[in-house]
Structure 1
Amino acid sequence: MLVWERPEPRDRPTPVPLSRERIVQAAIGLADADGLDAVSLRKVAAALGAGPMRLYGYIATKEELLDLMVDAVYAEIRPSGDGWRAVLRSLAEDIRQAAARHEWFADLIGGRPQLGPDALAAGEAVLAAMGDVGLDTVVPAVAAVNAYVIGAVRREVTERRAERTSGLDKEQWQRAFGPYLERAFATGRFPALASVVRDGPHLDADQTFRTGLEFVLDGIEARIAR
């Protein structure tokens, strides 16, 4: 029986009351502070002041715990809006904001579909908003938005981690590598790249994300119109 359907143990008098919700929230707190490496059933039990074996009555494996953590974040993702375009935009923004609050979330999405109740609710809201658009368009359209968002969010998370590791923010990194690029461009071997770096738009993270998302939505709209 999957963890979503498996009953929790009965409450019993203990110095430290437990529930799946308390366990999951404690695990999220550890992951938010120190990443997924900080999450294990033993460490979560220690954070709750409980014995590790007690947690196994609620959660059988670390994989189940990670699934529950992801679904708890999906509870923060509530796509809404008037029409399919607004709802897909809302989905993208909500996922991005959730990953900003829970950086580890970006590491756990993008593989097999998430099947927890809150993830299913988010998916239902998106698919219901597609109205009478045919499934042959709906399925790849939603997949395209998800692929774009996951890729964009992971790039942003990677950038933040690089800043922490290197101690250089984006502008400092650009200044450090600028002389090397100028020498490379001076060879004449990379004229297209040189044009982009020197003359192209320099968008901030919000502008980059939203502009790319609109490109994807424009493509979906064109396909629906055909």
Structure 2
Amino acid sequence: MAKDGERRDPLNRARVLRAAVALADESGLEAISMRKLAQALGVVPMALYKHVANKDELLDGMVDAVVSEVEPPQEGLDWKAAVRRRTLSARAVMLRHPWARRIMEAQAAPTHVILAYTDSMIRTFLAGGLSADLVHHVMHALGSRIFGFTQELHETAPTAPSDLSPEQVQYMMATFPGIVAVATARPHDPTSVVGSGCDDQFEFEFGIDLMLDGVERLHRNDWRSADHDREAASVL
């Protein structure tokens, strides 16, 4: 609580969200509660409800605040460079706030800020001359990558012999030699992972570049989906 005579910034939604983000950065998502957040702000818990209706709205607002840190679209870049730059900016944001992906993955519906960000990415592709048909499939393929992280299928699966006991190593080598060969081909950088799994910076950039190169090739070849061709034929 503020001391007598000490000036305190007025409480508003932006200040509440900034404090919640800072608390999650420092102590993890598990530390977020109305009581702990109120304590950090030096107010009573009921004061928070004037700015966020409940914890779900608080979590959504925290994600919105994080996504808002991604740099805006840059003028003068072609679509491929623009998408890559902004995606890597999102990656840097997620590395600063790795807890945010858990909220995003659990959201029942995207917020206005999430929709606006997604729309701006789509418009970058469209402004580059890509068809809406191609962009539809590109957005599905990119998935969470536009927000700076990759959803791993089995995040907790061991990826190196050091994660296993000697007996488990022998079993894996005998039973799944392909997995062992690939998993041990290159160590991952744990300091650049968002969340867990194999989603480190190198793997993320490799995946983005691979996909954008493929999209560029399809665009040059005037690719159209089979569904698009069938719908066009039905109109004739």
Deviation sequence 1:148-184 (CA, Å, 0-9, x none): 46695455xx68xx9xxxxxxx99x643537446523
State the Cα RMSD in Å.
Answer: 3.2
Cα deviation, residue 113, structure 1: 2.5
Find the counterpart in structure 2 of residue 27 from structure 1: 20
Contact 1:79 1:94 survives alignment (8 Å): no
Counterpart among 70, 77, 90 of residue 77 in structure 1: 70
Shift of the 154–186 alpha-carbon distance from structure 1 to 2, 3 Å rule, reads closer
Match of 1:102 in 2: 97
Q: Does 2:139 align with 1:146?
A: no
Whole-Å separation in 2 of the counterparts to 1:191 and 1:106: 32
1:60, distance to aligned residue in structure 2 (A): 0.8
Aligned: 1:196 with 2:193: no
Amino acid corresponding to residue 72 of structure 1 in structure 2: A
CA gap 1:201/1:53 in 2 versus in 1, 3 angstroms = closer
Q: Which runs of 5+ in 1 are unaligned?
A: 1-13, 163-169
Q: Alpha-carbon deviation of 1:43?
A: 1.7
Larger helix proportion of the pair: 1
Task: Report deviation, 1:23.
Answer: 0.6
1:42 and 2:35 are equivalent in the alignment: yes
Q: How many residues align?
A: 197
Cα distance 1:194–1:19, how it changes in 2: closer, same or farther (>3 A)? closer
Rate the CA distance shift 1:75–1:147 in 2: closer, same or farther, 3 A. closer
Cα distance, 1:220 vs structure 2: 2.0
Counterpart pick for 1:209 among 204, 208, 214: 204
Separation of aligned partners in 2, 1:179 and 1:74: 43
Structure 2: gaps of 5 or more residues:
1-6, 190-199, 224-236
- Report what 1:11 is aligned to: none
Could you tell me how far 1:17 is from its partner in structure 2? Answer: 2.2
- 2:215 counterpart (214, 220, 223): 220
Structure 2 equivalent of residue 128 of structure 1: 123
Q: Is the 8 A contact 1:84 1:129 kept in 2?
A: yes
Deviations 1:51-84 (A, max 9, x none): 1112111111111111111111111112545122
- Aligned letter for 1:37? E
Report the CA distance shift for 1:139/1:183 in structure 2 as closer, same or farther (over 3 A). same
The residue aligned with 2:228 is none
1:114 aligned onto 2:111: yes
Give CA-to-partner distance per residue, 1:92-115, whole Å, 9 cap, x none: 212221121112111122453232
Q: Mapping of 1:161-200 within 5 angstroms? A: 174-175=161-162, 177=164, 179-180=166-167, 183-184=170-171, 187=174, 189-197=175-183, 200=185
Q: Tell me the alpha carbon deviations over residues 171-209 of structure 1, each in whole angstroms, 9 at most, x when there is no partner.
A: 9x643537446523664x4343354356x4556532222
Q: Identity, % of aligned pairs?
A: 31
Please say which of residues 38-47 and 81-90 is displaced more in the overlay.
Answer: 81-90
Q: Partners of 1:93 and 1:74 in 2: how far apart? A: 13
Q: Secondary structure at the match of 1:109?
A: helix
